[in-house]
Amino acid sequence: MPSDLILRLNPIIDASHTRNRKTSPPDSACFPGTRKVVIRGITSWIDTRIILGTTAAHVYWFHGFAGSGKSAISLEIARIYAGSGRLLASYFFFRNAGDRSGMARFAVTLASQLVAAVPATASFIQAAIEAEPGLLTQGVSLATQLERLVYGPFRAAVKRGIIVKTLIKGPFVVVIDGLDEWEDEQGVMDFIDHMLDYFKRHPSIPLRFFIASRVEEHIRTRLENDLVFLANLDSHGARRDIEMFLEGSFEAASLNNRVIQEYVRAHGEWPTKWDMKKLVEHINGSFVLASTIFKFIIQPATAKDPSTPMERLPLTLELNGLDPLYAQTLARSQHFSHFRHILSTIALLERPLPIVGIATLLGIERSKIVQVLLNLQAIIHVPGTDEEDKVTVCHTSLRDFLTMESRSGEFFVPPSFHLHLSYQSFSSFFEGSGDLASSEESGSPAFEESGGPAYEYGRAYTDVHWKSCALSDTCDLVNEIERLEASQPLHTNKLPHCAFLCTMLFYSLSLETFDDILYGLTESAKQLALAAESSDRRIRLWLEEDFEYGMPESSVRTVQFTKQTYETLKHDLQRASTAIRAKVCPFEFHPSIGT
């Protein structure tokens, strides 16, 4: 039953501590021999027995600034308790990583790990699902799912004495890393509130939560509580740990770097003790800065940056924090064609894609993608294969840097690029659809077979990127649409472009916060007419399969317009009707507009 139950739960397979960190960030692990004091303090707290009648904290909130090493410590804690059989579950949030940045599959993922850790809970979880058939749907609250699928089954196993031998060692623990990367702030607060309420109701339950995050206000106000043990990573000196990391990393790099080897033969030790002292002082406790600086120093030379590691080391001491390092690294590839589109895509994708997915999405050759990315390996993980492994940022702070103009300057990725991504996503779905692309009526081949990464991404996120642009305070949608239209080659097939604008503008009419109703109505009618009059015979398939996607179903909107606008709207709808009936009969299309 457990295997069938796991399939039914449909957990996120790359959310736990056992995931492939290269393809599912954060890619953080404690360097051997480091963070011993911090880890000892955490394990001592977890191992403390819960005594009946006491109000001991069940939750450990481990907070610190970005890049201080929280994820690496979370990973180590998860590994320790997995080894002793007391890890109930682990979950590593990561922004813009698809489901791992939301709550839709959080409870079912914890439940599936609970089944693996305590197999006897499977029957309790199965019974809960059978009692509430809709329990696994998104219409059920997170609190209900956690109560029925995680807390309740674990408590039942404890009450029946099923795990008494394991509990002799101490309580079970759930490790949650990157809670601040959970994009739904209200969802985070609801989760914390319900978790603390559960421990109030069951103070003797042998279960503890280890939660690591940055200090965000919506988290702080909930976790600064008598039921929570607070620990600030920033208060733990990391100087010696960072020194050990740098010494070990430079030593390993020198084994395979002829330039460093020849320099050492000619000049002696490198880096010198003085170099190391200055680097450690400059890094000032940030492990992500230490890692990025190291990668920046030892990265291979290029035609644009022919400097050696020995020449780069003193340059890093002049850079203040991560931002200048990010800018210096990005500059190594900005002269390549498509650099800006590739960088902007990686920054704004809702979930990572492999190289082949990015290439298909942007309509760029894979070799061009690789050419840009190879020089950015200090800050972006570049997979060894094009097909499966995903391109990911090494740390969330890079995405923060790119989306804040005050920090990134010329490398800034504006919200308006979401419109371009929405169009590319729609095109990938449109061109890659099995019906649309393989139909005998189609006059052009598909860019990608149905089910490929860009096709699946287009199906899932076309509307998400559109909304990010349409509802942004800093994005002028009408102006951006005009720019998009102007960028289309004169002799290109107009159907995908017109179908996209018609579909998404109709979709916008159903958004309560979309204000430009008149533009949405008139422009969508115009694009419908242009699409219908195109020479592409896939117009029927688009109307039958996809047009309904953008139609507002139940919303009622009121708009006033002039007689001239009315006549234009009526004319465009009549054009569309005539063209459609001429091309796709007996398909019926009878638009009407009231007076």
Q: For residue range 535-592, what is the model confidence (pLDDT) as tens digits?
A: 777 777 777 665 444 445 555 667 788 889 889 999 999 998 888 887 766 445 555 5
d(CA 521, CA 56): 60
Cα-only R_g, the chain: 28
Q: What percent of the chain has pLDDT over 70?
A: 90
Q: What is the DSSP string of 117-164?
A: H-GGGHHHHHHHHHHSTTTTSTTS-HHHHHIIIIIHHHHHHHHTTTTH
Q: What span, in angstroms and rounded, lies between the C-alpha atoms of 40 and 25? A: 25
Burial class of residue 490 in the structure, from the number of CB atoms within 10 Å of its CB (0-12 exposed, 13-18 middle, 19+ buried): exposed
Task: Write the pLDDT tens digit of every residue in 381-397.
Answer: 988 776 678 999 988 88
Give Cβ neighbours of residue 479 (< 8 Å, ≥ 6 apart).
Answer: none
Tens of pLDDT, residues 344-360: 999 999 999 999 999 99
Residue with more model confidence, 548 or 18:
18
Contacts of 300-309 with C-beta under 8 Å, sequence gap 24+, read: 302/332, 302/375, 304/331, 304/332, 304/335, 304/375, 305/331, 305/332, 305/375, 308/259, 308/263, 309/253, 309/257, 309/259, 309/260
What residues contact 563, with CB distance under 8 A and at least 6 apart? none
Distance (Å, rounded) from C-alpha 546 to C-alpha 353?
24
Q: pLDDT band at 53, cuts 50/70/90?
A: low
Instruction: Report the mean per-residue pLDDT for the chain.
Output: 87
The answer to whether residue 14 scores a pLDDT higher than 50 is: yes
434 pLDDT higher than 60? no
Cβ count within 10 A of residue 34: 22
Please give the pLDDT value at position 168.
Answer: 87
- Per-residue confidence (pLDDT) for residue 173, from 0 to 100: 98
Q: Do 288 and 321 touch, CB atoms closer than 8 A?
A: no
> What was the pLDDT predicted at 386?
62
Measured CA to CA, the distance from residue 129 to residue 349 in angstroms comes to 34
Q: Is the dihedral of CA 180, 182, 184, 186 positive or negative?
A: negative
pLDDT score of 545: 62
**Phi, psi of 212, rounded to the nearest 5 degrees:** -115, 135
What is the CA 285 to chain-centroid distance, rounded? Answer: 26
> What average pLDDT does this structure show over 11-19?
95
Q: What distance lies between CA 385 and its chain's CA centroid?
A: 20
Please report the pLDDT score of residue 274 as a whole number: 96
User: Which domains, from first to last, does the chain contain?
Assistant: 2-235 (3.40.50.300), 239-318 (no CATH), 339-411 (1.10.10), 417-584 (no CATH)
Mean of pLDDT values over 68-93: 96
Residue 492 is predicted with a pLDDT of: 64
- What is the rounded distance in angstroms from the CA atom of residue 106 to the CA atom of residue 349? 21
Residue whose token pair is 């391109």: 391
pLDDT at 66 over 90: no
Spatial distance between the Cα atoms of 232 and 61, rounded to a whole number of angstroms: 8
The whole-number average pLDDT for the span 487-503 is 79
DSSP H or E run through 88? strand 87-92
User: Are the C-beta atoms of 499 and 430 separated by less than 8 Å?
Assistant: yes
What's the confidence (pLDDT) of residue 442?
Answer: 41
Cα 593 from Cα 595, distance rounded (Å)? 7
Give the span between the Cα atoms of 563 and 553, in whole angstroms: 27
Least confident residue range of 212-216, 232-236, 464-468, 543-547 = 543-547
Residue 224 CB-density burial (10 A; 0-12 exposed, 13-18 middle, 19+ buried): exposed
Q: DSSP label at 304?
A: S
Weakest mean pLDDT among 73-77, 363-367, 473-477: 473-477
Q: How confident is the model at residue 440 (pLDDT cuts 50, 70, 90)?
A: very low
Q: For residues 540 and 441, is the Cβ–Cβ distance under 8 A? A: yes
pLDDT tens for residues 144-179? 999 999 999 999 999 988 888 888 889 999 999 999
Per-residue confidence (pLDDT) for residue 430, from 0 to 100: 77
Which run of H or of E encompasses 406?
A: helix 405-408
Residue 438 pLDDT: 47
pLDDT higher than 50, residue 441: no
Average confidence (pLDDT) over 27-41: 94
pLDDT of residue 2: 73
Percent of the chain with pLDDT over 90: 60
Strands ordered across the beta sheet of 59-63: 87-92, 172-177, 207-213, 59-63, 228-232
Residue 528 pLDDT more than 80? yes
**Crossing angle between the packed helical segments 239-254 and 258-267, to the nearest 10 degrees:** 100
Dist. CA 59–CA 38, nearest whole Å? 17
